Chains A and B, each alone.
Chain A
Amino acid sequence: MSGWLNALPVMLPLLTAAVFARRGRARSLAVIIAPWLPLALLVPLWQADASAAPVLLLGLRLGVDAFSAPLLLLSALAWTLAGVFARGAIRRGQMRFWVGWLVSLAGMSLVLLAADLAGFYAGYATLSLASWLLVIHARSDQAWHAGRVYLVITLLGEMAVFAAVVAIAAGHGNVALGSIDALPLADHWRWLALAGFAVKMGVFPLHVWLPLAHPVAPVPSSAILSGVIVKAGLLGWLRLVPPGIEHGIELAPVLFGLGLFTAFFGVAVGLLQRQLKVVLAYSTISQMGLVLVLYALMLAGGSQEMAPWLGLLVLHHGLNKAALFIACGCAPGRGWLRGVLVALPALALTGAPLTTGMLAKAGIKQALATSSFGAGWATVLGLSSTATALLLWHFWRLARADRKYRHVRPAWVVLVLSALFVPWAWLAIHDLDAHLLGGLWAASWPLLLAAGLIALLRGLPRPPALPAGDLVILYQSLARYVVTVLGRIAGLQGRALPNLHPVHVRLNARFLDLEQRLTALPVAGLLVLGIGGLLWLFAR
């Protein structure tokens, strides 16, 4: 009966966004309401009923399951807090900011809640396109550039997703998402889906938009882009290529390798960056590599038992990363309190002992232990923590240098606190065994190693800077080439049929000449006889 409540998180932001079409009172009211709307995501989490609206779209169904529950929680918390921050921080271009913000939220909500294929895709497409507004908010040259890169790569990814979605629908119609693991599907479609969602996740080599978009987007937008929206990609993987599919074991090794590579690649390039938010973007890329590793392990394991661990990882990264991005907007270099507020989430991300990061790492290691990949990879995982620690040290130094005059906003504090505690609560609720004591050493040595490295390398000269977005230069030249070729093709087809006008003019002159001659009486008479003669010849 209360199924319509599930639709609230989708409907409310859209309705509020519509209000922004008008100026004046209604708009100021909407600005007050807007930040709190993500809290509506808690409603479906609370009541956890599935609902269906068979006349909507292609038969829309909404519901919550083990995959989407942690993301709902994350979105509700991070998006709300970032929104509250944004209300104070966004002064110019309110309309485009809030419309983008709210429509993205609606899209995200639909992604999280949809239980059917078409509904999920609808939410994903809405989210992808609306986030563009968040990226280009500043409307500077850099912002337009980042926006263009984001849009092109996102649309390409979305189309890959579309292909996979219709491939599923071609045989089975608009199926329930929960049943996809049992459906037969050729592997290349699965790869398309994986690649399409990887764009959102920022997996190498599709990560280029993240380092471009984050520095130009407003602080709260970066926070949700990096903390929450990237997770839509993960959900996409879980939905379209869920653990438990037939060939999961064959897909897993490639993904596992790619995940590890991304984790180190992100750090390596991030260390060569000078801008605070770019460094964080590369950190996100690196962390998504780890998420990919866990996903690959689940795929290899063929079961969904690890879902709560994945949820933990997602909550941990999402909240902490959002907190760090918000920090960028609060002059993290001023005073010790701000130092603490930066250090807490940063440490958590490195996986320091007794932080939520340690829990997340423990989850990955558990999955690794039960998988066929061999325990040796645990060391590599440890090394990735070292790498993350190096990157965040780099971040720390950049952050402490930022001493502009800015207020500490309460939203930041609350976000840091929730990042501290919520994953623990998650652990408790799901009754997960983190092997806390046994994991202490495993969590500690990478940090010690990192500290040692930092001490060793301290005196070295600064490495050269790398442009943000690394591979994007390559892609751009490729795109330019494609555009040239397409232009040539279009040029070939440009004129359909030639214009007849000049022919017309020439004909006119000729005709008048001919008619003059025919009309002369002697000619006419001769013609009569001539035609008669000709006919006579034919008649013989």
Chain B
Amino acid sequence: MNADLAVGLVLLPMAGALVAFGLPAAYRRALAAAIALGWPLLLLPLTLLVLRDGSIAVVFGDWQPPLGIVWRIDGLALVMLWMHAAVGLAALVHAWPGFAPDRRAAATFWPLWLVLMTGANLALVTADLFNLYVALELVTLTGIALVAITDSTAALRAAMRYLLLAMLGSLMYLAGVGLTYAQNGTLAMAGITALETTPLVLMLAGLMVKSAVFPLHVWLPPAYANAPGPVAAMLAAVVGKTALIALWRVWWLAGDSASQALAMAIGVMGVAAIVYGSVAAMLHPRLRMVVAYSSVAQIGLLLLLIPLAGSDAFVASGFHLLVHGLAKAAMFLAAANIVMALGSDWIRRLPGLDSKLPLEAFTLALAGITLIGLPPSGGWVSKWLLLQQARSNDQLVWMVAILGGSLLSAAYVFRLLAMSCFHASHHARRPIVTRPPRAGSLAALLLALAAALLGLNPTPMLNLLATAWPGAAS
């Protein structure tokens, strides 16, 4: 077993993407599939290594930091990598018929998909601020391209807004990186000893735009809601999350130099996001917008890690990232199927869903329960640990926020469920427009099941995550 295998995580999809652009359109899909399937094989030995050593450091060439590019795979990164693999595979299955080689968009979709995976993986494993920038740019730009792939006006408008705001965010981040370099003379995270306020805030603000923290979230709902199902799933589970992890990492770089007030301010933003996102999800009349706004709320919840600042909270947030990623991807995949079948995105058209599309209804229900954090779903475990952290810190405000957030999420989840499964309406008798392929439904269901069942035995995962807690060393 060799740590250098880790290189494959990035190189494999990157090479795949390059090759795919060269290949005839007919083979691009197959290539993407081959890479997605090969991925777990690559991850497996790495997992064993991480379990043994705690983390893997990859050094390129013989240059040691600060000159060489350093990768570091810790527990958090590993868990996220697995999540990427799972969601990627599910999205692939879902996209398989929709982006068949004879479709117009397929030619660009598959290579872009590979690029997206490249960037996402790179963002997770890199331990270098500039590298991180590159990776995030890669992710964002391919994400935007994928949103725009359907050519609909709404999608193009959404992509445009995403692009503009993401650029602004990138610029701020880059400015922060530049200032940091000026101070420290290195961009390797391990080498950064001090982080001034200005670069820190610049980087944080930039990453907040990219991870769609309220009130900078405005690009997210239209982008997610107008993208094709597999893309939305990838955006929700991969793109948003990598930016958020980057935000955490930058925050930890600041270490003690970051003021308590800033942490509080970020916490308040988190609470605002929870409230706003949930209320929006509760009120919005469109299915995919509801799911998207729910992401806004969940990102707020994940921001609370910063003021909570403890190993329990870290483990919880890491776990929630995983669970939420799986659940949200499942919801987007299911939502795409629903839209395809009903020919409409309006929630009032949902009645009768449980008899028309039982698998989708079940997926929505399972994922929804995970989002609320009802036991014994995965979401419940993270809620429990977050609450435990808040209590042991005596931070009652965040406790109330977490509990209130779960109630608010119950409101929108049960609204969806009541509408789709129980509401007696004439819409219930309308026939299905197009029956979605079964494989896609099953893929969504499997993701939701994974999210829900993770709560049954989360301990190994939690232990793994605990090794990555940066506070443990100091």
Contact = CB atoms under 8 A, between A and B. Distances in A.
Interface of A: 504, 507-508, 511-512, 515, 518-519, 521, 524-525, 527-528, 531-532, 534-536, 538-540
Contacts of A515: 280
A539 B200 contact: yes
A528 B219 CA distance: 12
Contact of A518 (B168, B169, B205, B215): B215
Interface string B206-227: 0011000001101100100000
Contacts of B264: 538
A538 B215 CA distance: 17
Contacts of B218: 518-519, 524
A534 B265 contact: yes
Contact of B261 (A507, A527, A528, A539): A539
A495 B172 CA distance: 54
Contacts of B197: 536, 539-540
30 contacts: A507-B283, A508-B283, A511-B279, A511-B280, A512-B283, A515-B280, A518-B215, A519-B161, A519-B222, A521-B161, A521-B164, A524-B161, A524-B218, A525-B168, A528-B172, A528-B209, A531-B205, A532-B201, A532-B205, A535-B201, A535-B266, A536-B201, A538-B259, A538-B261, A538-B265, A539-B197, A539-B259, A539-B261, A539-B262, A540-B197
Contacts of A504: 283
A131 to B, nearest CB: 51
B166 to A, nearest CB: 11
Nearest to A505: B283
A531 B218 CA distance: 14
Nearest to A518: B218
B202 interface: yes
A524 B168 CA distance: 10
B258 interface: yes
Contacts of B261: 538-539
A504 to B, nearest CB: 8
A525 B164 CA distance: 9
B204 interface: yes
A531 B208 contact: yes
Nearest to B169: A528
A527 B276 CA distance: 16
Given A536-B198, A538-B259, A531 B216 contact: yes
Contacts of A518: 215, 218
A527 B214 CA distance: 10
A527 B209 CA distance: 10
The 10 nearest A-B residue pairs measured at CB: A532-B205, A538-B265, A539-B262, A536-B201, A539-B197, A538-B261, A538-B262, A519-B218, A508-B283, A535-B201
B283 A535 contact: no
A163 B160 CA distance: 80
B265 A535 contact: yes
B165 interface: yes
A532 B283 contact: no
A524 B165 CA distance: 8
A58 B172 CA distance: 82
Given A511-B279, A511-B280, A534-B265, A539 B201 contact: yes
Given A527-B216, A528-B216, 20 more contacts: A507-B279, A518-B218, A519-B161, A519-B218, A521-B161, A521-B165, A524-B216, A525-B164, A528-B168, A528-B169, A528-B172, A531-B216, A532-B172, A535-B201, A535-B262, A539-B197, A539-B201, A539-B261, A539-B262, A540-B259
Interface string B147-172: 00000000000000100110011001
* B interface, size bucket: 20 to 34
Interface string B253-267: 000001101101110
Chain B facing A: main interface SS:
helix
Nearest to A525: B168
A180 to B, nearest CB: 55
Contact of B283 (A511, A525, A528): A511
A507 B264 CA distance: 28
Contacts of A531: 205, 208, 215-216, 269
Nearest to A523: B218
Contacts of B168: 525, 528
Nearest to A520: B218
Interface in B392-424: none
Contacts of A524: 161, 165, 216, 218-219
Contacts of B209: 528
Nearest to B264: A538
A535 B201 CA distance: 6
The CB with the most chain B CB atoms within 10 A, among A511, A515, A518, A531, is that of A531
A483 B259 CA distance: 66
A432 B218 CA distance: 106
Nearest to A508: B283
A534 B198 CA distance: 12
A527 B283 contact: no
A247 B194 CA distance: 92
A530 to B, nearest CB: 9
Contacts of A511: 279-280, 283
Contacts of B201: 532, 535-536, 539
A528 B258 contact: no
Contacts of B216: 524, 527-528, 531
A527 B283 CA distance: 23
Contacts of B204: 535
B247 to A, nearest CB: 12
A538 B204 CA distance: 13
Contacts of A521: 161, 164-165
Interface in B255-307: 258-259, 261-262, 264-266, 269, 279-280, 283
A540 B266 CA distance: 14
A272 to B, nearest CB: 67
Contacts of B161: 519, 521, 524
Contacts of B258: 539
Contacts of B262: 535, 538-539
A497 to B, nearest CB: 14
Contacts of B172: 528, 532
Contacts of A540: 197, 259
A528 B165 contact: yes
Query: Of residues B165, B216, B266, which shows the largest number of chain A Cβ atoms within 10 Å of its Cβ?
Result: B216
Contacts of A519: 161, 218, 222
A521 to B, nearest CB: 6
Nearest to B265: A538
B447 to A, nearest CB: 29
Interface centre among A512, A518, A534, A538 (most CB of B within 10 A): A538
B406 to A, nearest CB: 18
A516 to B, nearest CB: 10
Contacts of A536: 197-198, 201
Nearest to B269: A531
Contacts of A539: 197, 200-201, 258-259, 261-262
A278 B398 CA distance: 77
A518 B215 CA distance: 8
A507 B215 CA distance: 18
A540 B201 CA distance: 10
Nearest to B200: A539
Contacts of B259: 538-540
Contacts of B169: 528
Nearest to A535: B201
A538 B198 CA distance: 11
Nearest to B214: A518
A540 to B, nearest CB: 6
A511 B266 CA distance: 23
B306 to A, nearest CB: 11
A370 to B, nearest CB: 78
Contacts of B200: 539
Given A521-B161, A521-B164, A538-B262, A532 B202 contact: yes
A512 B279 CA distance: 11
Contacts of A525: 164-165, 168
A246 B258 CA distance: 83
